Amino acid sequence: MWLRYDNPDFIEPDPISIPHSFSSQKDCEVSGFLAATIAWGNRKAIVKSANRMMDYLDRRPYDFIVGASEGEMEALRGYVHRTFNGEDLVCFVEALRRICRTYGSLGEWFEGAWERTGDMRKVLAEFRHEFFDFPHPLRSEKHLSSIAKGAACKRLNMYLRWMVRQDSHGVDFGFWKRIPASALYLPLDLHSGNISRELGILTRRQNDWKAVEEVMTHLREADPTDPVKYDYALFGVGINKGL
C-alpha cells in the first residue's frame, strides 16, 4: 500500500515539492525546514505560501539566511501565512542563521545531535532549545512544537523523514546518512491518526506524542529498519478518504 503513494507523483502537490525545487543540499535543507514549518491545513495553500516564502528569500534560501542584510531581513516582515507572519519569518531566519553559521548546516546539527544522544526524542527536545536560544518573540515559539510538552511534533518528524530516509523512489532525499531511518518517528496528523485508528494500531484519541509512540510500536514491528515509510500509506489513504 505504501508504494502506491511513495512515488514521484506524490511530490508536486505536497510541501516536499519546495526542497525538490532546489539543487544544492543546503538549499534543500533550509527550504524544507521552512516549508515544513507552515505545513498545516490545505496542501495546495501550503505549497503556494511556501513558494512565496522562497521568493522572499530570493530563491537562494541558504545564502539569504547566512548573509542577508538588515534591509533584506526587514523586507521579510511583509510575509504572512495564516498565523505565521513576517515577525515569525524573521525570527526563524535568524535562528537558522545562528545554527548554519555555527555548525555549517542544519544537517550537521541534526547528525551531530543524533550521534551524541542516540535518541530522536532527545534530538527533538535539544533542537527546539537550540533554535530559540537567543532573544526572540515568544509568539514564534508556537510554530515549533515541543516534545517536552507532549506535542506530536508532526512537522519536525515530517522534515526529518524528508532528510533522513534513503528513498529509492525519488521522494525523500536521504541526505543525512549518519542518522538511521529506524530512528525516525511518524509525522502523526489528522489523516494518519484517523486511518491508524481504523486499522486498530492506535487507540489513543489525542494526536499527541503518546499517540506517536503507540503507533510506532506497530510500525516498527512491520519494518524495524524503515518504519516511517508507512506514513505514505496512512496519510495517502487518509487524505483520499477511504481504504
Residue 232 reports pLDDT greater than 90:
no
Per-residue pLDDT of 7-56, as tens digits, reads 677 788 899 999 999 999 999 999 999 999 999 989 999 999 999 999 99
* The model's pTM: 0.95
Residue 238 reports pLDDT greater than 70:
no
How many CA atoms lie within 13 Å of 187's alpha carbon, on the beta-carbon side? 19
Q: Where are the domains of the chain?
A: 2-239
Give the Cα separation of 147 and 151 in Å (integer).
5
Q: Where are the beta strands (DSSP E) in 120-164?
A: none
pLDDT at 4: 58
Per-residue pLDDT of 102-125, as tens digits, reads 999 999 999 999 999 999 999 999
Give the Cα separation of 147 and 230 in Å (integer).
22
- Sorting pLDDT into bands at 50, 70 and 90, what band is 94? very high
Secondary structure element (H or E) that encloses residue 80, with its range: strand 80-81
Per-residue pLDDT of 73-88, as tens digits, reads 999 999 999 999 999 9
Per-residue pLDDT of 121-148, as tens digits, reads 999 999 999 999 999 999 999 999 999 9
Residue 239 reports pLDDT greater than 90:
no
Q: Where are the beta strands (DSSP E) in 48-149?
A: 80-81, 84-85
Give the Cα separation of 192 and 197 in Å (integer).
9
pLDDT at 2: 47
How many CA atoms lie within 13 Å of 108's alpha carbon, on the beta-carbon side? 10
Average pLDDT over the chain, rounded to an integer:
94
Give the Cα separation of 14 and 215 in Å (integer).
23
Residue 203 reports pLDDT greater than 70:
yes
